[in-house]
Chains A and B, each alone.
Chain A
Amino acid sequence: MIYTAFIKGKNYRFPDLATLLAKASPRRSADELAGIAAESELERAVAQKILADVPLQHFLDQPLIAPEVDEVSKLILEQHDAQAFTAIQSLTVGEFREWLLAGEHDLSAMAFAFTPEMVAAVSKIMRNQELIAVASRCQVISQFRNTIGLPGRLSTRLQPNHPTDNPRAIAASILDGLLYGSGDAVIGINPATDNLDNVHTLLNLLDEVINQHQIPTQSCVLSHVTTSMELMQRGAPIDLVFQSIAGTEAANRSFGIDLAMLAEAKAMAEDLGRGSVGQQVMYFETGQGSALSANAHHGIDAQTCEARAYAVARAFSPLLVNSVVGFIGPEYLYDAKQIIRAGLEDHFCGKLLGLPMGCDICYTNHAEADQNDMDNLLTLLGVAGCNYIMGIPGSDDIMLAYQSTSFHDALYLRQLLNLRPAPEFEAWLNKMGIFNGHNCLANDQSKQRFLNQFKSLPQF
């Protein structure tokens, strides 16, 4: 369908829904690189005005990619809850925005009434404060060995990476993180290499640390899903299966995955039965621009592609999902303004679609951003009720060569917004003398017992 308008003496014409969405998208370098962005501020504002009048029903009637050629499109239609949708069926995108802001509706019951394209569309005509306010009303709780996403809680992924995966170096960073109260979302290592023996060694290390100290958390080595599957067959102690995912079948193929493969991996990990309070075994990462980077975006803008990735994620009831928002670089998100906007959009879209969203609040050294910008996004996402953030020693990932949030940053949000760790983990921190019972670090003396215990690991 063609979308047209006559505004300020000029005719505007957008040949299809994908074009309209791209032109209405807040400015970002990814869409400019793809040649699909608005060519002027006026064209963007006009596209947003037209988009606001599009009925939500159009997104069901006009799939952005035909379901016959794209399994993500097919999945989106299969997931759709037509029954719940009846409550919003008659709304346009603009009316949907007001429906969300009215604050009168239970959003969690509506997660599958919304499609990725609907939430992406409405986000494009919402201001940052609205993305924050609406997302803060969505609670998504997930469980494996603890409970993540409860109100008033903030979890952290402890990310102890090292450029050669040296177990002793990694153990030192883990200890540092635990002593700062980090690690309840997951202790998750990005391996420098997918070498099977190497990944197996790291999995054993994490299993040993968690078991020896009875830490109510889960581990993950973020290798390719096929590596995790091979290692599960070899008996490796895998809590969570990780995979990067994207919003089109072709982009997922460029990652070497498809939906069937993810389903198989999930079933294998569930069979291991390693969870205690829950069995949500999947961990996904995403990021705007990944489909473009794989040359697999089908003319769809980066933010809408990203929301489509969340349809993939929610098909597997994950424990954790986070956008790695600034990781991809300035060709996709040019500066802090774009990174901050994208971070808020991703959290909003993910939460509306029913995902336990965290965020890797981050930037690379070739982007126009710095740690102050991350402080801003960190604070905004804290207010928005983000489930978890990253914890990296001093914000500096010495293997992936980018900067994220630190153990200290989590302390900042905890103190400022009175956000506590997952309850099981908080109890453990208090018991070990790491926290003082009041959501604050204890003094060094009280940590000494745990420190001595930890140093008895064979790695030291």
Chain B
Amino acid sequence: MKDAWHSLTEFTPARIAQGRAGFSLPTEAILEFQLAHAAARDAVQQNWQVEQFNQSLIASGFETIQLNTLVSNRVQYLQRPDLGRQLDQSSKDLLQSYSDSNYDLVMIVSNGLSSLAIDQHGLNLLKSIDLAFQNSPLKLAPICLVANARVALADEIGSLLGAKSAVILVGERPGLSVADSIGAYLTYAPKLGNTDAERNCISNIHSPDGLSYSLAAQKLAYLTSQARLKGYSGVLLKDDDVSSTYIQQNFA
């Protein structure tokens, strides 16, 4: 039996008002939970068809560079975060050939822990970001695609390109309710050894229940311009933008 306040489930995807059997959950709720866990476990293991994604970007007019980390397979990716933070030699050489281009910003895309997230939302998110930067004077590098990366790989890519800022869009680990969420991390003056305190994170980008593409793009544009203005990113760079807060989306 579900709870008397079950009507509130219209406001949230959280598992509220599920009712109970004694102290525990009703049978249906337990089985639904196990189904969701099984799906999330499978989603973690899914490989990324990076060439297919690359073609979709090119078809939409984006210029891209394909890179590789030192990770050789998905199991190793999960166990060796250090390898996901390093480029292989040919990728380094490739980036060095772009190093006098004076880029202001490089966007990096990786499947991270959810290939599904990038396949579902990557292209649309990039289009929104492109739009948000349309009137900006910033010089953008080609979009770097790299499978099985960790967030800190952005430091190496950014510094090899000599870019002033780096943003990495990465698939977040699948949860039970959402298996296709993207996180975006901004680092100003990227270089090897940057700490997490020097990054700004925009998380939970997915549709329809997460942060929308356009608000995520706006927020990213805002933080990028603030970082350039102040000369730093991270915990000291506060998101004080009243125009693009979630409140807009939450009460829309």
Is B176 an interface residue, CB under 8 A from the partner? yes
Query: How far is it, in angstroms, between the C-alpha of A306 and the C-alpha of B23 when the chains are bound?
Result: 34
**A435–B120 Cα gap in the complex (Å)?**
45
The answer to whether the Cβ of A66 comes within 8 Å of any Cβ in the partner chain is no
B78→A330 contact, CB < 8 A: yes
A164 to B235, CA, bound (A): 20
Q: Which residues of A contact B34 (CB under 8 A)?
A: 371
Q: Which B residues lie within 8 Å of A331 (CB)?
A: 78-81
A165 surroundings in chain B (CB, below 8 A)? 246, 250
Give chain B residues whose Cβ lies under 8 Å from the Cβ of A398: 12-14, 175-178, 209
- With CB as the reference atom, state the residue of chain B lying closest to A448: B4
Interface pair A195/B240, CB less than 8 Å apart: yes
- Chain B residues, CB < 8 A from A393: 14-16, 18
Which one of B20, B22, B23, B177 has the highest number of Cβ atoms from chain A below 10 Å of its Cβ? B23
Asked if A270 is an interface residue, CB under 8 A from chain B, the answer is no
A400 CA to B8 CA in the complex, in Å? 21
Partner-binding segment picked from B52-60, B129-137, B138-146, B195-203: B195-203
Docked pose: A329 CA to B36 CA in angstroms: 19
Interface centre among A201, A224, A398, A448 (most CB of B within 10 A): A398
Q: Does B242 contact A (CB under 8 A)?
A: yes
Given that A33-B80, A401-B173, A415-B23 are contacting pairs, would A256 and B247 also be in contact in the complex, using a CB cutoff of 8 Å? no
User: B78: which A residues are within 8 A, CB to CB?
Assistant: 329-331, 366
Contact B173–A364 (Cβ < 8 Å): yes
A173–B16 Cα distance when bound, in Å, is 6
The complex places the Cα of A33 from the Cα of B173 at a distance, in Å, of 20
Given contacts A169-B12, A196-B238, A254-B196, contact A164 B4 (CB under 8 A): no
How would residues 1 to 43 of chain B score, 1 for a CB under 8 Å from any chain A CB and 0 otherwise? Answer: 0011100110111111110101111000100011011001101
Contact yes or no, B246 A227, CB < 8 A: no
Residues of B with C-beta under 8 A to A179: 3, 5
Residues of B within 8 A of A255 (CB): 196-197, 235
A163–B210 touching, CB < 8 Å: yes
Q: How large is the interface on A (under 10, 10 to 19, 20 to 34, 35 or more residues)?
A: 35 or more
Is the beta-carbon distance between B202 and A193 smaller than 8 angstroms? yes
A192 touches B204 (CB 8 A): yes
Docked Cα-Cα span, A256 to B16, in Å, equals: 35
Q: Are B176 and A403 in contact (CB under 8 A)?
A: yes
Give bound CA distance, A175 to B7, whole Å.
Answer: 12
A41 within 8 A of B: no
Assess whether B5 is in contact with A176, with CB atoms less than 8 Å apart: yes
Flag if B175 contacts A401 (CB, 8 Å): yes
**B4 in contact with A399 (CB, 8 Å):** no
Nearest Cβ in chain A — how far from B205, in angstroms?
A: 9
B residues less than 8 Å from A412 (CB atoms): 23-24
Do residues B247 and A201 form an inter-chain contact, with CB atoms below 8 A?
A: yes
A39–chain B nearest beta-carbon distance, Å: 17
State whether A198 and B246 are in contact (beta carbons under 8 Å apart), knowing that A175-B8, A401-B173 are contacts in the complex: yes
Does B93 sit within 8 A of A, measured CB to CB?
no
Across the interface, which residues of A come within 8 angstroms of B17, CB to CB?
176
For residue A194, CB closer than 8 A to chain B, the reply is yes
8 Å CB contact of B5 from A170, A175, A370: A175
- Residue B94 at the chain A interface, CB threshold 8 Å: no
A197 contacts chain B at the CB level, 8 A cutoff: yes
Complex alpha-carbon distance, A365 and B114, angstroms:
11
* A163 contacts B211, C-beta separation under 8 Å: yes
Cβ of B113 under 8 Å from chain A: yes
Q: Which residues of A contact B79 (CB under 8 A)?
A: 29, 33, 330-331, 334
Q: Determine the chain A residues whose CB is within 8 A of the CB of B234 once the complex forms.
A: 256
A401 to B172, CA, bound (A): 8
Q: From known contacts A163-B181, A256-B234, A401-B172, infer whether A365 and B16 are also in contact, taking CB-CB under 8 Å.
A: no
Closest to B238 in A: A196
Contacts of A230 in B (CB 8 A): 238
How many Å from the CB of B204 to the closest CB on chain A? 4
Within 8 A of B (CB), among A155-174: 160, 162-173
A253 within 8 A of B: yes
Instruction: Assess the A401–B174 pair: CB atoms within 8 A.
Output: yes
User: A171's closest neighbor in chain B, by CB?
Assistant: B11
Is B82 an interface residue when CB atoms closer than 8 A count as contact?
yes
Residues of A close to B197: CB separation below 8 A: 253-256
For the complex, give the distance between the alpha carbons of A293 and B11 in Å. Answer: 36
Q: Does A301 sit within 8 A of B, measured CB to CB?
A: no
**Nearest 9 interchain pairs by C-beta:** A394-B15, A401-B175, A256-B197, A256-B235, A169-B12, A254-B195, A176-B16, A411-B23, A163-B204
Which chain B residues have a beta carbon within 8 Å of chain A's beta carbons? 3-5, 8-9, 11-18, 20, 22-25, 29, 33-34, 36-37, 40-41, 43-44, 78-82, 113, 172-178, 181, 193, 195-197, 202-204, 206, 209-211, 219, 234-236, 238-242, 245-247, 249-250
Listed by A's residue number, 9 A-B pairs whose Cβ atoms lie within 8 Å are A164-B211, A193-B203, A201-B247, A294-B195, A331-B78, A331-B80, A366-B173, A401-B173, A402-B175
Known: A163-B209, A175-B8, A331-B81. 20 other contacts (CB 8 A): A160-B14, A163-B181, A165-B250, A166-B12, A168-B11, A172-B8, A176-B16, A193-B202, A193-B219, A196-B239, A224-B235, A226-B238, A255-B196, A255-B197, A365-B40, A401-B176, A401-B181, A408-B20, A411-B23, A412-B24
